[in-house]
Chains A and B, each alone.
Chain A
Amino acid sequence: MITRRSLLQSAAAAAAFAAGAARAETPGVTDTEIKIGQTMPYSGPASAYGVIGRTEAAYFKMINEQGGVNGRRIDFVSLDDGYSPPRTVEQARRLVEDEKVAFLFNTLGTAPNLAIRQYLNDNKVPQLFVSTGASVFSDPAHFPWTIGYNPNYQTEARIYGKHILATRPDGRIAVLFQNDGFGKEYLIGLKDALGDRAGAMIVKEASYETSEPTIDSQVVSLQGSGADILVIAATPKFAAQAIRKSYDLGWSGVRYLSNVSPSVATVLKPAGLEKSKGLITAYYGKDPTDARWKDDPGMKQWQAFCDKYLSHAEFVDANAAYAFSAAGTMLQTLKQCGADLSRDNVMKQAAGIRDLELPLLLPGMRIATSPTNFSPIRQMQLATFDGQSWQLFGELSTG
């Protein structure tokens, strides 16, 4: 006899069965484990970023020791692509087709990510929190399976542009930029914010190649242009050179420094703390080497994590600190997924993060995504360097 109760029961059983089947069908997900893939340049010209993958591996190890996420341990497979797009494609395909990972996380580099974006979207494999600030990765209308992470280079440059317009509307700007996607996006953002004043205000642009030993020559040219504002869109080594050289040349104007390179220990100290005075940057993560965060609870978490799983070298490394936040965002996404780790739901949850605060993000800063907003970190705050620490000023702004 079929009672209402038994009908309900069997319906529930069928639903549970269906859910179980769905779970079994999601590659890389079992009842005890979820498999996450990543490509990372452990060798080759960009191997400095390899620390990101190592930090994330350590983070997931910590999570596993604490019992995993929703009862599942994380199996993290991070493969070397040597920063060469053809190899990135190969490794991504290996991860998806051979290792059968559930999704890819924090794959590094603009070109490598561009190379695998179409493939992952065609196969509906989430490409989560890509490790690049290129604006093209926040495009849910065309690439619904790809979501960015880093604050967008253009957004940051717009913040500088607005600040320049507000403080020195008659300034003459010189820009030093890396001759690749990263540097060029700064130029675009800056010109965008300056609007029709851009042509008149930017008096000199100079680019450099990462293969060049120094950029002294470029800085001399920029100074010779008579500009009173210098925008430094450079990676750490070249940023340090530019800060030192511009000071040595007696540059008296304002200097803006890309937030790729604000580390006190690994950029400003090599450049000279005295020589770094007065720099302005747009800040979003706490700098582990800045004494002002010494007693910050978030920083203490990072310190404890490094002591246990990594070393002092990683503690001071800005890339490692970045990875700590990225992995934290990943963890939040997995927590939100609950029991449903289908690719659809993972993507939905990655695009549904609400006001997440992380230990190494600035106080009050929140990560937020939505189905139309694929840029998790949008807020930044201007800061100026006083010779010891970065001093925040103004409001959190979103460019």
Chain B
Amino acid sequence: MNAFLHQLASGAALGGVYAIMALALVMIYQATQLVNFAQGEMAMFSTYFAWKLTDLGWPYWRAFAVTVVVSFLGGVLIERVVVRPFAKAPVLASVIVFIGLSLIFNALAGWLYGYSVTDFPTPFDGPPWFGQRAMSAHESGSILVSLAVLMLVYAFFRFTPLGLAMRAAAQNPTSSRLVGIRVGWMLAIGWGLAAAIGAIAGMMAAPIVYLDPNMMAGVLLYAFAGAVLGGIDNPFGAAFGGFAVGVTENLMGAYVVGSEVKLSVALAIIVGVLVWRPSGLFGRRLVARV
């Protein structure tokens, strides 16, 4: 029973990280209908930035805030400089650009910081919360952070004029332009927000998985799977998918198929669910108009 709770807890904690990452993917998907394969490596790079700051002796939350802001600006910059020129190119050309970006960030991090693993501080230090033993303070804290990010993303799209403008720009660019929304800038802000959210995911993941240039490769895979499973056009669905993937994968590996093929089995289940519900568990059913 105790082991079961531990499995559940570690699955949920990592699931929280997948959920934040999935939200970052949702951000760019909302705006461009594309999945940014470089999101993981961008998040890793942001995390190294935060690590540099804490290494200089900055207090955690200040480093956290500065990293989020810098990542936002970095995301905007990447969209303006690297992604924008491909706006009119075929969709797959953009995908190739994402692959190129992820290669660049990965190798740059290895070159600048080396490949040895580094520990990364957590703000949630100390004994486990609420007197339980199954979940460490950081695990509880990062789940809390992922829920907070989810609420913020939801509130942003639902209640702020900027969020509304972004949704409009994504769904109907032409009409949006007519009512005075600067569609191009909306895309750039989407990228910025995705980079900022990704940075949070990286900073929550690093204390669990350790910081190294390949830290986010596995995380991105699961986040992608989670986002698609839950429905990538719906922040709640995507976040739920992230949690579901984290927990299911742990339980499958521990109790059903063994660790050797758990990744393959988890992926097979996701594909199976998609056969049953092709637009994800909570995604909008697409209806084609003839």
On A, residues with C-beta under 8 Å from B are: 43, 45, 47-48, 50-51, 179, 206-209, 211-214, 216-218, 220-221, 223-224, 236-237, 240-241, 248-249, 263, 265-267, 269-270, 313, 316-317
Mask for B252-290, Cβ within 8 A of A = 1, else 0? 011000111001000000000000000000000000000
Query: Once the chains bind, are A270 and B210 in contact (CB under 8 Å)?
Result: yes
User: Does B117 lie within 8 Å of A207, measured CB to CB?
Assistant: no
Q: Which of B31-39, B53-61, B71-79, B212-220 contacts A (4 or more CB under 8 A)?
A: B212-220
Specify which chain A residues have a CB less than 8 angstroms from the CB of B17 in the assembled complex: 213
**Quick one: which of B116, B213, B254, B260 contacts A217, CB cutoff 8 A?**
B254
Q: Are B218 and A206 in contact (CB under 8 A)?
A: no
In the complex, which residues of chain B have a beta carbon less than 8 angstroms from the beta carbon of A241? 209-210
Do A236 and B259 form a contact, CB below 8 Å, given A47-B110, A48-B110?
no
Chain B residues contacting A221 (CB-CB under 8 Å) are 3, 7, 253-254, 259
Given the known inter-chain contacts A47-B107, A220-B3, please indicate yes or no for A240 contacting B210, CB distance below 8 A. yes
Residues of chain B within 8 A of A317, CB atoms compared: 114, 116
A to B contact number (C-beta, < 8 Å): 97
B205 within 8 A of A: yes
Name the one of A48, A206, A269 contacting B259, with C-beta atoms under 8 angstroms: A206
Cβ of A234 to closest chain B Cβ, rounded Å: 12
For the complex, what is the distance from the CA of A207 to the CA of B214, rounded to whole Å?
19
Q: Does B64 reach chain A (CB closer than 8 Å)?
A: no
Contacts A51-B115, A220-B254 hold; do A211 and B6 have CB atoms under 8 A apart?
Answer: no
Instruction: Verify B209–A217 contact, CB threshold 8 A.
Output: no
CA distance A266 to B119 in the complex (A): 9
Given A48-B110, A207-B259, does the pair A269, B10 have CB atoms closer than 8 Å?
no
Tell me the minimal C-beta distance from B13 to chain A in angstroms.
Answer: 8
Q: Min CB distance, B250 to chain A, in Å?
A: 4
* A209 and B263 within 8 A (CB): yes
Contact A213 B209 (CB under 8 A): yes
Q: With contacts A213-B209, A220-B3, A224-B3 known, is A43 near B250, CB below 8 A?
A: no
Chain A nearest CB from B12 CB (Å) reads: 11
In this complex, how many residues of chain B approach chain A with their Cβ under 8 Å: the count is: 40
Q: Are B10 and A43 in contact (CB under 8 A)?
A: no
Chain B residue contacts of A237, Cβ below 8 A: 117, 209-210, 212
- The winner among A45, A48, A216, A224 for most chain B CB atoms within 10 A is A216
Bound state CA distance, A241 and B119, in angstroms? 10
Indicate which residue in A211, A265, A266, A269 contacts B217 across the interface (CB closer than 8 Å). A211
A20 to B110, CA, bound (A): 46
Contacts known (A211-B217, A213-B218); A267 close to B117, Cβ less than 8 A: yes
Most chain B CB within 10 A, of A207, A220, A237, A317, is at A220
List 6 tightest A-B contacts by C-beta distance, closest first.
A48-B115, A224-B3, A270-B119, A266-B116, A216-B10, A213-B218
Selected A-B contacts with CB under 8 Å, 15 pairs:
A48-B212, A51-B114, A179-B260, A211-B217, A213-B219, A216-B14, A217-B10, A217-B11, A224-B2, A236-B117, A237-B117, A240-B117, A266-B116, A270-B117, A317-B116
Q: Which residues of B contact A50 (CB under 8 A)?
A: 110, 115
- Of residues 207 to 254 in B, which have CB atoms within 8 Å of A's CB atoms? 208-210, 212-215, 217-219, 221-222, 249-250, 253-254
- The verdict on B118 contacting chain A, using a C-beta distance below 8 Å, is yes
Enumerate chain B residues within 8 angstroms of A45, measured Cβ to Cβ: 214
Please name the residue on chain A nearest to B208 by beta carbon.
A214
CA distance A224 to B250 in the complex (A): 14
Cα distance, A240 to B209, chains bound together (Å): 9
**Hey, which chain B residues are within 8 Å of A269, CB to CB?**
119
| Residues on B with beta carbons closer than 8 Å to the beta carbon of A248 | 136
Q: How distant is the Cα of A43 from the Cα of B107 in the complex, in angstroms?
A: 7
Return chain A residues, CB-CB under 8 Å to B259: 179, 206-208, 217-218, 221
- Least Cβ–Cβ distance between B4 and chain A, in angstroms: 9
Contact status B3-A214, CB under 8 Å: no
Additional A-B contacts beyond A217-B10, A220-B3, A249-B6 (11; CB < 8 A)? A43-B103, A48-B110, A213-B208, A216-B208, A217-B254, A224-B3, A237-B209, A241-B209, A266-B116, A270-B119, A270-B210
**In chain B, what residue has the closest Cβ to A224?**
B3
Given the complex, which residues of A lie within 8 Å of B215, measured CB to CB? 213
B117 near A266: Cβ-Cβ < 8 Å? yes
Determine the residue in chain B with the shortest Cβ distance to A176. Answer: B259
B101 to chain A minimum Cβ distance, whole angstroms, is: 15
Q: List A contacts of B14 (CB < 8 A).
A: 213-214, 216
| Interface membership of chain B positions 103-116, coded 1 if the CB is closer than 8 angstroms to chain A and 0 otherwise | 10001001001111
Across the interface, do B7 and A217 meet the contact criterion of CB distance under 8 Å? yes
Tell me which residues across on chain B come within 8 A of A212, comparing CB atoms.
Answer: 218, 263
Bound complex: CA of A267 vs CA of B50, how far in Å? 21
With both beta carbons as reference points, the residue of chain A lying nearest to B119 in the complex is identified as A270
- Among A47, A269, A317, the most chain B Cβ lie within 10 Å of the Cβ of A47
Complex CA–CA separation, A47 to B113 (angstroms):
13
Q: Which residues of the partner chain A approach B210 to less than 8 Å between Cβ atoms?
A: 237, 240-241, 270
Complex contact A211–B10 (CB within 8 A) = no
Nearest B residue to A43, CB-CB: B107
Chain B contacts for A218, CB-based, 8 A: 253, 259
Q: Flag if A270 contacts B118 (CB, 8 Å).
A: yes
Closest beta carbon of chain B to A299's beta carbon, Å: 18
Q: Please state if B10 and A214 are interface contacts (CB–CB under 8 Å).
A: yes
Contacts of B117 in A (CB 8 A): 236-237, 240, 266-267, 270
Closest chain-A Cβ to B223's Cβ sits at a distance in Å of: 10
Shortest CB distance B195–A (Å): 20
* CB–CB A214/B209 < 8 A: yes
Determine if A220 and B107 form an interchain contact, defined as CB atoms under 8 angstroms apart. Answer: no
Residue in A closest to B113 when the chains form the complex, CB atoms: A313
Q: Please give, as numbers and ranges, the residues of chain B lying within 8 Å of A207 by CB-CB distance.
A: 259-260
Residues of A within 8 A of B6 (CB): 220, 249
- Taken together as a complex, chains A and B put the C-alpha atoms of A266 and B118 apart, in Å, by 7
Interchain nearest-CB distance for A198 vs B (Å): 19
Within 8 Å CB of A208, what residues of B? 259
Nearest CB in chain B: distance from A180 CB, A = 11
- CB-CB under 8 A from A206, the residues of chain B are 258-259
CA distance A216 to B138 in the complex (A): 14
Q: Which of B3, B117, B210 has the most CB of A within 10 A?
A: B117
**Chain A positions within 8 Å of B209 at CB level:** 213-214, 237, 241
